Amino acid sequence: CRRFPILAITLAALAIAPAAAGAMTITPRIVGGGTVSTSTYPWQALVYAGPYLCGGSIVSTTEVVTAAHCALDEDGDPWPPAQVQVIAGRDSQLIADGQEASVDSIAVMPGYDPAAFANDAAVLTLSAPLTTGLKVQPIALPAAGARTAAGTQLSVSGYGTTASGADQSSARLQAATVSAVSDTDPTCGPHYIGAYVADVMLCAGAPSRDSCQGDSGGPLVTQDATPLLVGIVSFGDGCAKAGASGVYTEIAAPSVRSFVGAFLAGGQPLEVPRSFTAPSLQGDLTSGSTLTCSAGTWSGATGFTYVFRDGSGMVLQRSDRTTYVLDDGQIGDSVSCKVVARAADGQRASAVTSVAGPIGRSAAIVVAPVVETPAPAAPAAASAPAPAPVVTPAALVDRTAPTVKVLSAHCVGRRCSLRLRVSDRGFSAGIRSLKATLTTTYAATCKRKGHRSRPCKRSVRHTLKARRAGKGTTWSVVAPRVRYGRQRFSIVALDRAGNRQRHATTRTLTAKASHKRSKKSSKRH
Ligand code: 4AZ
């Protein structure tokens, strides 16, 4: 149930997809989907949450149901509503039509535990109502307790990947027919022992048809004349894998039905804190000084947690303290603060400050002489407040993949080197390794039988060693003798908990026969 990064879109899908808009029957193709239109699936919403792609179901003009795991950021806090966008009535991610809606508040189903899978439901309340029409219509919910019988034909739709592990989402909306599978079927409960909670989940599948990464949060509906939303795409063991059904949050489960139903007209929704003025960071941007994060104004908040992060997104401090003391390690870096507000009934909401930086050297450090004599036991700047400890909630498990940022990159002659910062958001079990590859593209002469030799390009690939550069999070990669030409470095980090960076960090340099440093010729990924 990993969220799928909004990165690339299958352009090829556009070229090969037949115009099936409006077709009621879905032709199984690729991993079982067919291209459809929101005029047939008008309850389908596209949900961009932070950097991730998810699906959603329009249940009223102002409410969209999605998965809880789509609504939460890497720390397990609801995304700041400003970082969530809902789009209705859009058939292709490449065509900016339909209705774009902003989100006012995010409610996550009580009892959702990011470390488990149960209660994977959330409701996004939009800032302004959607206009209903041919391509935008709410879908009705089943009654509480009206569970879906095994064998019922259902439709699942979304813009997710069309193959398990694929690195591109589908440009165009896809849908597939799957059948409800009994909780006790070997592909369902017994296959997901320890994860499957029959009370609040539903399995569905069909040979080579399934939901997949990026479809999370999206609708599973009946194929009746008046379709009902019976499930939310939640998780699965791969996609369309023999022996493993897809798992959905079951809307008809009484607890899920009452959570979602409370948001529909006439209901009493849970109170979710709301931010009215953005939080802010105050203080001197120099090492040794104290930054104060102000929560801004909120409604419905009974308490706050403050998360200070560095420029790479690494958590510096997470606690109820509003202050953070900058230290030398942050010189040249930047800091931001996320405020997480809690309501009395457990709902939370977050908002973030803008990024403050770069952080400078404090005056005390600038004037401190290089120590030639043995250092005194107490540091000269003893009056400066001690840096606050980094708070890592011990109860957390490392579930997030590490990320790599390029700090510097250059080639001098044939030697190219990169300095990298590796971060592992939230609680980290530590970085195990970095896989670095270099693809060199150089000018060559190509000969083909019966043709004259002509200039062409060739590529070679090498694996490189990445080494920790001193203490902390800095690593380096050096290619000592490259061929002159274009050098494309690709780095993927793996942490000790087995989380692998999904999309490689890349950097392209040019090695030229001169002793000047080459210019960076492309941006980082
Ligand atoms: C996912 O990663 C995901 N086959 C969603 C659904 C399924 C598998 C993975 C079910 O979002």
pLDDT in tens, 479-519: 988 888 888 888 999 888 778 887 788 888 988 876 434 33
Distance in angstroms (rounded) separating the CA atoms of residues 52 and 428: 21
Of 480 and 223, the one with more pLDDT: 223
Q: Which two tokens stand for residue 458?
A: 């060739």
Amino acid letter for position 503? H
Of 7 and 54, the one with more pLDDT: 54
Cα 77 to averaged position of ligand 1 atoms, centre (Å): 21
pTM exceeding the 0.75 threshold for the entire prediction? no
371-379: average pLDDT: 41
Of 464 and 374, the one with more pLDDT: 464
pLDDT score recorded for residue 222: 98
User: pLDDT tier at 385 (50, 70, 90 boundaries)?
Assistant: very low
pLDDT score recorded for residue 3: 62
Cα 72 to averaged position of ligand 1 atoms, centre (Å): 16
pLDDT one-digit tens code per residue, 282-321: 999 999 999 999 999 999 999 999 999 999 888 999 999 9
Q: Is the CB of 236 under 6 A from ligand 1?
A: yes
- CA proximity to 65, closest of 123, 146, 22: 123
Atom of ligand 1 nearest to the CA of 240: 4
Q: What is the torsional sign of CA 9, 15, 16, 17?
A: positive
Give the range among 39-53, 265-279, 325-339, 443-457 with minimum mean pLDDT: 443-457
pLDDT score recorded for residue 6: 58
pLDDT score recorded for residue 379: 39
For residue 258, the SS3 value is: helix
- Strand 122-126 relative to strand 44-49, pairing: unpaired
Distance in angstroms (rounded) separating the CA atoms of residues 57 and 101: 13
To test the ligand 1 pocket, which listed residue (53, 66, 208, 216) has its Cβ within 8 A of the most ligand atoms?
Answer: 216
User: Which are the contacts of 358, defined by CB distance < 8 A and separation ≥ 6?
Assistant: 285, 331, 332, 333, 334
Report for 135-149, 357-371, 390-404, 445-459: range of highest mean pLDDT:
135-149
Q: Is the pLDDT of residue 377 over 60?
A: no
Cα 177 to averaged position of ligand 1 atoms, centre (Å): 16
DSSP string, 355-402: PB--BB--HHHHHSPP--SPPPSS-TTTTSPPPPPPP--TT----SPP
pLDDT one-digit tens code per residue, 76-133: 999 999 999 999 999 999 999 999 999 999 999 999 988 888 999 999 999 999 999 9
Q: Is the CB of 2 under 6 A from ligand 1?
A: yes
- CA proximity to 199, closest of 124, 120, 278, 280: 120
Cα 248 to averaged position of ligand 1 atoms, centre (Å): 9
Q: What is the torsional sign of CA 211, 213, 216, 218?
A: negative
Q: Is the pLDDT of residue 478 over 50?
A: yes
Q: Is the pLDDT of residue 237 over 70?
A: yes
Q: Kindly state the greatest CA–CA separation across the chain.
A: 86
195-202: average pLDDT: 97
Q: Is the pLDDT of residue 160 over 70?
A: yes
139-159: average pLDDT: 98
Q: Is the CB of 161 under 6 A from ligand 1?
A: no
Q: Is the CB of 120 under 6 A from ligand 1?
A: no
pLDDT score recorded for residue 271: 92
pLDDT score recorded for residue 363: 63
Cα 441 to averaged position of ligand 1 atoms, centre (Å): 37
User: pLDDT tier at 397 (50, 70, 90 boundaries)?
Assistant: low
pLDDT score recorded for residue 437: 85
Of 12 and 161, the one with more pLDDT: 161
Q: Which residues are catalytic?
A: 69, 120, 216
Q: Is the CB of 1 under 6 A from ligand 1?
A: yes
Atom of ligand 1 nearest to the CA of 214: 11
27-41: average pLDDT: 76
User: pLDDT tier at 393 (50, 70, 90 boundaries)?
Assistant: very low
The rounded mean pLDDT for the chain is 84
